[in-house]
Chain A
Amino acid sequence: MRVLEERERVRNVVGQRLPRVDGWAKVSGRAQYTDDLTLPGMLFGKLVRSTHAHARLVSVRLERALQVPGVVAAITGRDVPVRYSVFPVGQDETALAVDRVRYVGEPVAALAAVDPYTAEEAARLVEVEYEPLPARMDLEEALRNPEPRIHDYGPFGNVHRLASLEFGDVEAGFAEADHVREDLFFYGGNTHAPLEPHSALAWWDPGARKLTVWTSHQGPHYLHRGLAKALGLEEHQVRVVVPAVGGGFGGKLDIFHHEVCAAKLSMLTGRPVKITLTREEVFYAHRGRHPELLRIRTGVKRDGRITAMHVEAYLDGGAYCSFGPATLLYAGTQQPVTYRIPHYRFQGVRVFTNKPPCGPKRGHGTPQARCALEVHLDKLSEDLGLDPVELRLRNLTGPNELTVNWLEITSNGLRACIEKVVEASGWRQRRGRLPYGRGLGFACSAYLTGAGGSIYYSDMPHSEVHLRVDRSGGVTVYTMATEIGQGSATAVATIVAEVLGLQPQDISLVTSDTDLTPIDLGSYSSRVTLMVGNAAYEAACRARDLLFDAVAERLQVPRSRLVARSRRIFDEANPEVGASFAQAAQWAEARFGCLATSGSYRPPQKLGTYKGSGVGPSPAYTFSACVAEVQADPETGEVKVERVWVAHDIGRALNPVLVEGQVEGSVHMALGEALMEEQAFRKELHRGPSWLDYKVPTVYEMPEVITFLVETDEPRAPFSAKEVGQGPLLCVVPAILNAIADALKVRVDEVPATPEKVLKALEEQRKGRTGRVGPTKVPPFSFPPPERVPRPQSWEEAAQPA
């Protein structure tokens, strides 16, 4: 009810184009990132890494390294043998390899020295003996060769996880269809490549028996738990502090080797130990986009309405669990959020391979399937002679619906988003009338505003905020919301400022310190604006209540007439009757004592009860649509993306500048994935772990970006503000692929759609074959029979004959 009231009021700061609260520190070079920190007596740590993709680790000899003057300590897997993983069911990683290495670059030893040169010199002297094992470098190879297993757990062979679910009856659904189409798509692996390499500074206090770790990380809470487990400490003995972070995108969410090792080395030496990864090592840390093969089969009526859909996903997980179980399920969750799919089957498998582990990257498991689906629907529309946009419109979900896979959609601006980009791009007038080589492509997508389930099961809040008003009128907010560039600090400050009638830069923020700030699960699944925002909103409203009570009493004004605005609290009917914020704070402190409030947030309970139903639910979903315009060169296969129109259902933009920035950044990352980024391997080695070889787009590749922010009413979000950090990326990748197809009349059903592949598709066409490059078959694999999940009542009722 409170949110509904707020919406009617005049907005002071929400919706305004204000500078971000951490802008001045960053632009002046004052913002401190982890590698900027030094402590007295600090040692420099270095990891020694495996040169084999798969091998038994026979021995690791530290003697020669330890003899180098200035080397203070060195460890191997035997010193930190506890298994851990950010995912409860995982628990398959150790800080250093114990008896087996599973990818080139996996750490096998760590040492600490008085200066970085000594550390590097000594690292060269660590003697490692390997007994090579056959390495499986892609999914097919790993499935074909179940022995020797990469891990000793998992259903069988190199299979890590399986999912097999059916909502309704797909065979019946296909039987009803007038047309059934099946397509294969391969989405290649890629990585986050944040500008700031990972870094951790650990300091063990032997007297207090307390470990403090400063680290460039997105999820201090999960790391906190993981470090305690890995190091055999109680959680209260560990403190995680996150300084400024130079980009994460999901790549800094795991529990990392360098973090545990820096901590262990500090515990052994009693001195601070810092480990900062080189750029090459960042590619080995990875935890990026799973390479994924998808098979989608859809049945439609003649008019385009979907009757059934079957999605099969094959995920190449790399060497360890990471967030893999969630990634696997995410491959199936979002399709029914954009389109009404009466009968839906999702089956997926995650397979281990001998490469750096894959994990969550912007979109986390949804981009691959979304891309495959949007390309598939384009082809379906061709089969039916329908405009691709029209096909979507005939199947769209709407607001306040329960999907066939039991996900609750509240606000839904997808139709408005589609209409916006269609109109702005001139789609209806131009598509089909452009000269050969120029094309328009369309796609839409949906994403979560925060995962409804936490990584480990608990019934506690997902986010808590403390707020303090001091007698100078200063407001301090304590939150574990972790600023990674996405603007979480500004979002929290904006919400609190709005409630208290202040400006965002009036709010002091204490963030991401497990000793000082109450829980927040972390910056992932785009949860911060909604979840931390709601908790902050609650804390701020409680503080405002105290202030209003005190002012009402002092000034004898009816409480219901008080407003907080422009750093004052005053009678809305007689604005000159009021007090400055600072005065109000003093009155309130005199009246009530310490002005400290808190707020918390717990997402709604999930509605599904099937296995895996914990992945997919969200308090609210965002929706995006995209039209991309490309100019392709049929002689060289080069594709230039000239213009991208993106419309995003943001609910309400807390700060449009920051929201636009996220959309534009998403376009950049989507472009990279669509056309040139590839975490590729050759001869068991990463093909190019550098900025030169890993192709992040430069300024010259960027198209013109035209952004539309669509507003919808989202009662579950603070001031209706939903996410924007991940949603927009999802529709841009397939829009580009569909645009290439429109431009050249050939299909590249693979990401990245490089010039080589485009040229190959054109060549196939010239030779009279299908102008297509892409997978032609799935590996021989049998999924277990699906768990049959009854559909929600609304679907059964809708299916009843009238």
Chain B
Amino acid sequence: MERAVRLKVNGQEHRVLVPPHRTLLEVLREDLGLVGTKHGCELGECGVCTVLVDGEPALSCLVLAHEVEGHEVTTVEGLATDGQLHPVQQAFVESGALQCGYCTPAMVLVTKALLDRVPEPSGEQVREAVAGVFCRCTGYVKILEAVQAAARRLREARA
């Protein structure tokens, strides 16, 4: 049974007519044309479909679109502001923390969520933050470096 659902994505309100069985992943990609959120299994195992819901990482393949009405959804497309990349995105590029790029939207979002909560994360906290997203290219090494580099950038920007 389709229902009009009001979704707030990257600060913008959308109204979509979707049945309950459509996941947030499908609505983002197929109804809203926001294809930056990727999919690698749709079963909640690989993590590449991660978006932020009210600032916290969530696997969009396991979130029903109907259930995020009234919540703020952030996708990778919502990170840049005024045409400038977010410091986390810049850190990823400069650290070489991406290769094929497929896990990158998810990695960037979990990093942002971590640093918003914990500005000076320990190595253990960084590993935990990225543990929910698989990467097959980098071996995670430069991703962990990028998170710390992003943390430094953000602290400097605040200072």
A and B touch in the complex (CB under 8 A): yes
Q: Which residues of A contact B (CB under 8 A)?
A: 17, 19-20, 22-33, 35-36, 192-197, 244-249, 278-279, 484-487, 657-658, 660-662, 664-669, 690-692, 696, 698-700, 702, 705
User: What are 24 inter-chain pairs, A to B, with CB distance below 8 A?
Assistant: A19-B94, A19-B96, A22-B101, A23-B93, A23-B98, A27-B89, A27-B93, A28-B85, A29-B35, A36-B35, A194-B100, A195-B40, A247-B99, A249-B136, A279-B41, A279-B42, A279-B45, A485-B102, A487-B99, A657-B96, A664-B141, A665-B137, A668-B138, A699-B130
Contacts of B29 in A (CB 8 A): 36
**Chain A residue with the shortest CB-CB distance to B103:** A195
Contacts of B43 in A (CB 8 A): 279, 690-692
**Chain B residue with the shortest CB-CB distance to A484:** B100
Check if B136 sits within 8 Å of A27, measured CB to CB.
no
Contact of A279 among B38, B40, B95, B138 (CB under 8 A): B40
Q: In the complex, A17 Cα to B145 Cα: how many Å?
A: 15
Check if A27 sits within 8 Å of B96, measured CB to CB.
no
**Chain A residue with the shortest CB-CB distance to B101:** A26
B127 on the interface (CB 8 Å rule)?
yes
Q: Least Cβ distance of B38 to chain A in Å?
A: 7
Known: A700-B127, A702-B141. A485 touches B99 (CB 8 A): yes
Known: A195-B38, A691-B46. A661 touches B127 (CB 8 A): no
Contacts of A667 in B (CB 8 A): 139
B153 on the interface (CB 8 Å rule)?
no
Contact of B135 among A27, A195, A484 (CB under 8 A): A195
Check if A247 sits within 8 Å of B141, measured CB to CB.
no
B59 on the interface (CB 8 Å rule)?
no
B151 on the interface (CB 8 Å rule)?
no
B17 on the interface (CB 8 Å rule)?
no
Q: In the complex, A31 Cα to B79 Cα: how many Å?
A: 15
Contacts of B137 in A (CB 8 A): 195, 247, 485, 661, 665
Contacts of B39 in A (CB 8 A): 35, 197
B144 on the interface (CB 8 Å rule)?
yes
Interface size on B, as a range, is 35 or more
B57 on the interface (CB 8 Å rule)?
no
Contacts of B141 in A (CB 8 A): 660-661, 664, 702, 705
Known: A195-B48, A197-B40, A279-B41. A28 touches B138 (CB 8 A): no
Q: Which 10 A-B pairs have the closest CB atoms?
A: A29-B36, A485-B100, A26-B101, A246-B102, A668-B139, A657-B96, A29-B76, A485-B99, A691-B45, A36-B35
Q: In the complex, A662 Cα to B96 Cα: how many Å?
A: 10
Q: In the complex, A582 Cα to B99 Cα: how many Å?
A: 32
B75 on the interface (CB 8 Å rule)?
yes
Known: A27-B85, A28-B80, A691-B40. A664 touches B138 (CB 8 A): yes
Check if B46 sits within 8 Å of A195, measured CB to CB.
yes
B32 on the interface (CB 8 Å rule)?
no
Contact of A244 among B77, B101, B144 (CB under 8 A): B101
**Chain B residue with the shortest CB-CB distance to A483:** B100
Contacts of A485 in B (CB 8 A): 99-102, 137
Q: Which of A30, A248, A278, A661 has the most CB of B within 10 A?
A: A661
Q: Which of B41, B79, B85 has the most CB of A within 10 A?
A: B41
Q: In the complex, A749 Cα to B131 Cα: how many Å?
A: 31
Contacts of B38 in A (CB 8 A): 33, 195-196, 246
Check if A698 sits within 8 Å of B134, measured CB to CB.
yes
Contacts of A700 in B (CB 8 A): 127, 131
Contacts of B34 in A (CB 8 A): 29
Q: In the complex, A486 Cα to B99 Cα: how many Å?
A: 6
Q: Which of A20, A27, A249, A664 has the most CB of B within 10 A?
A: A27
Query: What are the interface flags for B86-117 relative to A under an 8 Å C-beta threshold, 1 for contact and 0 otherwise?
Result: 00010011111011111111001000000000
Contacts of A660 in B (CB 8 A): 96, 141-142
Q: Least Cβ distance of A650 to chain B in Å?
A: 15
Check if A26 sits within 8 Å of B127, measured CB to CB.
no
Q: In the complex, A702 Cα to B130 Cα: how many Å?
A: 13
Check if A30 sits within 8 Å of B36, measured CB to CB.
yes
Contacts of B92 in A (CB 8 A): 23, 27
